[in-house]
Structure 1
């Protein structure tokens, strides 16, 4: 196994395993809140709990929180987690539906706690965020208006982060981070998790095309800070005003900033398109509506548009390969890890079968119907 593969295995095996009683005691000790209920939440390689506290009279204040316990490997980079937390607070102040960061008793936004794991003691960074209302996009019918709003949200978020400043901002330059969309070729050491067969051959084809047609052109893409994981479970919605006789929804929450890194504007829209395809009955059509919303704020350049198809395919590969790899390490978490795989392989296969030219015609034609230009 390569050193990078070993690092990934170490991170996965370092996932926290706090009990509900430990989580309750942690919140009370570190954040000074009296806890009435604790409920585990699904997670990838960290651990999250929904926490309820009794509201004291008319004092106001939040009554629900999310306790985030970072895995042991991520907890070794407190600067990165500090920057992520400050980004959440910055976006909240700018009017985005992000959580508020609840300070620890020490006044800091993170606390380092140790837990006895039997043969060794592990340290984990913990944070407490206010709980956001709403249902994941994955659970609601998604129409063109919501797809457009999600695309616009992705662009507005990246544009707003142009103004973010922090002394440890360089922590977001995560060159070998497997989830950065520039790093699709770094999937190669993990392909054994797929075994032989058509799925592996499909991923190998995408990686070859990515190396030939995207990697060499990365310098032509405009750089920015990416959220990096605007998926159908990290965007929450609430009912809005009905439009055209169909149920309408508005975005009520943006979750999970753990995959933030320096990337490119086109990465953010490609990631959003891919995840909005996952639950769609007409997945290829999704991209045009998301793209139109994104380009209403940040029109893509010709070079960025030219790479969009392979970037979406590349994100499918990242999600599908790393899910298969993680399932080998944590089969008990397979149901959560394989959410995208339920439809993802079929959607990737269909995209490649339809072909880049035909898919681009659909995406760019839809974007034009909103009044977006073909390129800048």
Structure 2
């Protein structure tokens, strides 16, 4: 249940994150799988920020990911994510993404009626092999390969269009300025001040030039939990999952998102980002203008990673531990990044982008 903080929900938080991940009963998920897909198996609930997810395991051991999407998700958004998966599969079959499982009627997704009488989107995809990059040892080679895959993903999505691509979502950096409204969720004055400085950079450096930046539909969530690696060989990237935050936005923001997460727990966060950027540069080239904005864009994603979960934790206090589980890591990244000369950091990032 939402706390009283929801009474004045800030403009920085979109409808899809003001609505909890309302689960459907596992037996209902199993029934839908049988009736709509002709698949009989056991449904196991999996955590999701805004959707109700299940691992569906068939009698023969085959596994699928069954998603009942957030009630607030626009049907057009559901369609866009499904069509994007199909588009990337056709454009570059070597990118290790999940594959759409069509219904018995040939649909890539469909609408179900839940127990409350509301309609929700449903999608079934293959269960990607591997384990999250976050949970495994990290290396320069691993980060390089993640960057390379982001470049390939952007190239695969170059020709993709959809009516819902400009739909507003909370995690779209284009609208990050609205997140300033969420800073009141932080009781620590020093933390609020650091976020304010980061937001000032976004508004002063990026916003005035944002409309000029090359843009297309982007994945927008290349984070360590959406990147799967081989458990036996963590330097092998085995899967890229979760197209749920896709949006039409500057390509730079996609790169900044990926770079921000690849810092991980590295002692030298700039060097870790450079590993990622060197891989990306083998596939795509950022312009001088984009490179000049990369550092503040990375920091903007970092502030989003702190402010959005903190505000959601106020709305849904029963899920605070899950929503804010990564916040200590991001604050530690801020501390390590702030200990490095900004000019030196920008110079190293620039060199990595221009290989």
Is the TM value for this pair above 0.5? yes
Equivalent residue number for residue 364 of structure 1: 350
RMSD: 2.1
Matches within 5 A, 1:1-376: 1=8, 4=11, 7-8=14-15, 11-35=17-41, 37-55=42-60, 63-74=62-73, 77-93=74-90, 94-95=92-93, 96-117=95-116, 121-165=117-161, 169-174=162-167, 176-238=168-230, 249-365=235-351, 367=352, 372-373=354-355
Distance 1:172 1:148 in 2: 28
Unaligned runs of 5+ in 1: 56-61, 241-246
- Per-residue deviation, 1:68: 0.8
Look up the SS of the partner of 1:17 in the other structure: coil
So what's the TM-score if we normalise by structure 1? 0.86
Q: Classify 1:28/1:331 alpha carbon distance in 2 versus 1 (closer, same or farther; 3 Å).
A: farther
Distance in 2 (CA, whole Å) between partners of 1:156 and 1:362 is: 23
Please give the alpha-carbon distance, in whole angstroms, between the structure 2 residues aligned to 1:335 and 1:133: 27
Residue in structure 2 matched with residue 243 of structure 1 by the alignment: none
Q: Which is further off, 41-50 or 279-288?
A: 279-288
**Residues 79 and 171, structure 1, Cα contact 8 Å, conserved in 2:** yes
Distance 1:104 1:264 in 2: 34
Question: CA separation in 2, counterparts of 1:307 and 1:353?
Answer: 20
Shift of 1:14: 4.4
- 1-side partners of 2:23 and 2:314: how far apart? 18
Q: In 1, Cα distance between the equivalents of 2:186 and 2:144?
A: 34
Change (3 A) 1:141 1:54: same
Does the aligned pair in 2 maintain the 1:135–1:237 contact within 8 Å?
yes
- The Cα of 1:302 is off from its aligned counterpart by 1.0
Higher relative contact order, structure no. (Cα contacts within 8 Å, ≥ 6 residues apart): 2
Partner deviation per Cα, 1:87-124 (whole Å, 9 max, x = no partner): 1122223211111111123321222122224xxx3321
CA distance 1:288–1:321, shift in 2 (3 Å): same
In 2, Cα distance between the equivalents of 1:284 and 1:41?
Answer: 33
- Structure 2 CA distance, aligned partners of 1:186 and 1:42? 27
Number of paired residues? 346
- Structure 2: unaligned runs, 5 residues or longer: 1-7
The corresponding residue for 1:59 is none
Separation in 2, partners of 1:316, 1:6: 16
Give the Å deviation of 1:225.
1.5
- 1:267-295 C-alpha deviation (Å, 9 max, x unpaired): 11110111111343432321111111111
Supply the distance in 1 between the matched residues of 2:17 and 2:284 (Cα, whole angstroms).
35
Q: Secondary structure at the match of 2:236?
A: strand
Change (3 A) 1:216 1:249: same
The alignment partner of 1:23 has SS state of helix
Shift of 1:39: 1.4
What is the TM-score of this pair, normalised by structure 2?
A: 0.91
- Alignment deviations for residues 144-189 of structure 1 (CA, whole Å, 9 cap, x no partner): 1111111111111111111235xxx131113x42211222211022
CA distance in 2, matches of 1:216, 1:280: 32
